[in-house]
Amino acid sequence: MENHETFKKENLNKLSKRLKEIRIAKGYHNYEQFAFQHNISRSQYGRYENGQDIRFSSLCRVLKALDITLEEFFEGFEDK
């Protein structure tokens, strides 16, 4: 069984890859421009895409900016 830190790190990496994948699919090729256009701290958003921890409320805010539901975001999440 994985320890907690390994589990957390692996899933944060999946989350960060999923955020970047969706951002690019939505036509935002630059994370800084996406963050700026949606009034999200560019440095903080950059950390999310680099696999650092994200609060649930922040994730919801980013997903709203990406116009995607939680269900859509986590669809296929285990395959990442």
Per-residue pLDDT tens digits for 33-65: 999 999 999 999 999 999 999 999 999 999 999
What is the reported pLDDT for 71? 95
Average pLDDT, the chain: 93
Q: Strands, DSSP E only, in 2-71?
A: none
What is the reported pLDDT for 79? 66
What is the reported pLDDT for 1? 53
pTM: 0.89
Cβ–Cβ under 8 Å, residues 46 and 32: yes
Q: Is the pLDDT of residue 78 over 90?
A: no
